[in-house]
């Protein structure tokens, strides 16, 4: 029996969680008040009614709340606090490895550059790492330490204000079309990420592409991902969230994706639009087999998908079941803890209850998260860490089994 206490006790990962979508709602209110940012409501209840809703009509509506969270994260202190609290919230529910992603460009302003932005986020994460490392459980080697890394997100498209920032940065961009400008901006981000990782030691572990898929194809950002690939920066791409299998194919072939964010529409041949594809069903099957064979892990976000794709209806209809049937490597993630009102433990609970995930399947999903992480250390260190996690997982299972035997 997979109880809530058992889920909470298990060592877990979150490989797909956005910093600006995961603030504590009380912190958002406090930061907005102290930084004079207007909100639709100044109470948690009001914000959850007007902005952070239980369900949304579309991905576009889902993303509207980010205009408020991003607005309050425009100084180092706010960024550090948000990162620190996110780490604490994860530690409290048993998450032991966390990859926080965000678009640092959205936080660059006259008072802080890219270096400052990323340093502030890492300062918060590192503080949580140090505090947990000093706990008795870690010092006595009773459980794995908490580790974290940063994934920087390039954007498929920008608002007018954000495009203006890049026009000021490089006047040559003024004549570019919006899609071209986004591609150039992604290259600049990739170069900055590699420089900050290598020269400052900030654990930037991955490069991502986020934003609206439809009308903003991944190939526009191929140069940026080639740069990341050439400099050993791992890649994950939002794909198949609001568009079809072709988006996932582009992420893998043009952007060298090591992992796929969401991938919900992988098994949707009806969404293929390229007339050159003779048999959409065969195309989907071949793509799924390629992903399975290469162990390209899919970062599954159940609640987020249910919120932005209302037609799914229930967890039982989620594509996760098809992914498991195809023996794909998957891991369960939150996407946005605030916007989706969720946690890793809740996502696991949904999978167990909605799809009948077994203990063996759950173990595979969780261990895949650790194994396919972009761990901020060398491979030998990662192997030792994963081994420690697996051993701890076994102890939690043994403790659960002993408890159940006593109760019977």
CATH for 183: 3.20.20.140
Number of Cα atoms under 13 Å in the Cβ half of residue 402 = 6
Catalytic residues: 241
Residue 162 has a pLDDT of 52
Q: Is the backbone of residue 141 left (phi > 0), alpha (psi -120 to 50) or beta?
A: left
CA 274, CA 268: separation in Å to the nearest integer? 13
Where in 240-395 does DSSP place strands (E)?
259-262, 297-300, 330-332
Residue 163 has a pLDDT of 46
Residue 242 has a pLDDT of 76
* Size of the chain in residues: 408
Q: C-alpha dihedral over 379, 381, 382, 388, to 10 degrees? A: 150
Residue 164 has a pLDDT of 47
Instruction: Render each residue's pLDDT in the chain as its tens digit; 408 residues.
Output: 899 999 999 999 999 999 999 999 999 999 999 999 999 999 999 999 999 988 888 777 888 899 999 999 999 999 999 999 999 999 999 999 999 999 999 999 999 999 999 999 999 999 999 999 999 999 999 999 999 999 999 998 875 555 445 555 545 555 566 777 888 899 999 999 999 999 999 999 999 999 877 778 889 999 999 999 999 999 999 998 878 899 999 999 999 999 999 999 999 999 998 899 999 999 999 999 999 999 999 999 999 999 988 889 999 999 999 999 999 999 999 999 999 999 999 999 999 999 999 999 999 999 999 999 999 999 999 999 999 999 999 999 998 888 777 776
Q: Domain containing 38: what range? A: 4-407
Q: Which positions ≥6 away from 321 have C-beta within 8 Å?
A: 355
pTM of the model as a whole = 0.94
DSSP structure class, residue 335: B
Could you give the number of structural domains in the chain?
A: 1
Residue 400 has a pLDDT of 86
Strand order in the sheet with 204-210: 12-18, 95-102, 147-155, 204-210, 234-239, 259-262, 297-300, 330-332
């Amino acid at each position: 029996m997979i109880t809530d206490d058992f889920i909470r006790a298990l060592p877990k990962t979150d490989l797909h969680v956005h910093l600006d979508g995961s603030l504590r709602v009380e912190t958002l209110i406090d930061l907005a008040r102290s930084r004079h940012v207007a909100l639709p409501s100044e109470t948690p209840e009001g914000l959850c009614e007007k902005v952070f809703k239980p369900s949304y009509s579309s991905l576009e509506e889902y993303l509207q709340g980010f205009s408020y969270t991003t607005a309050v994260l425009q100084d180092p202190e706010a960024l550090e606090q948000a990162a620190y609290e996110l780490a604490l919230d994860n530690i409290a529910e048993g998450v032991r490895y966390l990859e926080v992603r965000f678009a640092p460009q959205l936080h660059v302003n006259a008072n802080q550059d890219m270096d400052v932005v990323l340093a502030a986020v890492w300062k918060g994460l590192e503080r949580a790492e140090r505090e947990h490392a000093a706990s008795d459980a870690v010092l006595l080697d009773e459980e794995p330490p908490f580790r974290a890394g940063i994934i920087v997100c390039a954007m498929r498209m920008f608002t007018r204000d954000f495009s203006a920032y890049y026009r000021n940065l490089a006047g040559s961009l003024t004549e570019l079309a919006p899609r071209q400008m986004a591609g150039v901006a992604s290259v600049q981000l990739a170069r900055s990420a590699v420089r900050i990782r290598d020269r400052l030691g900030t654990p930037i572990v991955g490069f991502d592409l986020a934003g609206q898929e439809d009308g903003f194809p991944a190939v526009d950002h191929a140069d940026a991902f080639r740069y990341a690939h050439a400099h050993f920066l791992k890649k994950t791409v939002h794909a198949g969230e609001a568009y079809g299998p072709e988006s996932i194919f582009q992420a893998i072939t043009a952007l060298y994706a090591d992992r796929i964010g969401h991938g919900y529409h992988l098994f949707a041949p009806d969404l293929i639009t390229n007339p050159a594809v003779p048999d959409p069903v065969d195309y989907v099957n071949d793509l799924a087999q390629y992903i399975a064979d290469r162990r390209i892990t899919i970062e599954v976000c159940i609640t987020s998908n249910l919120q932005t794709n209302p037609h799914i209806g229930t967890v039982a209809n989620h594509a996760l079941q098809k992914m498991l049937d195809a023996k794909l490597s998957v891991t369960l993630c939150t996407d946005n803890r605030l916007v989706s009102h969720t946690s890793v433990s809740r996502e696991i609970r949904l999978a167990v209850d909605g799809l009948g995930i077994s203990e063996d399947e759950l173990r595979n999903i969780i261990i895949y998260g650790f194994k396919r992480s972009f761990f901020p250390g060398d491979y030998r260190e990662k192997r030792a860490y994963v081994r420690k996690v697996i051993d701890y997982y076994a102890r939690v299972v043994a403790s659960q089994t002993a408890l159940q035997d006593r109760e019977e």
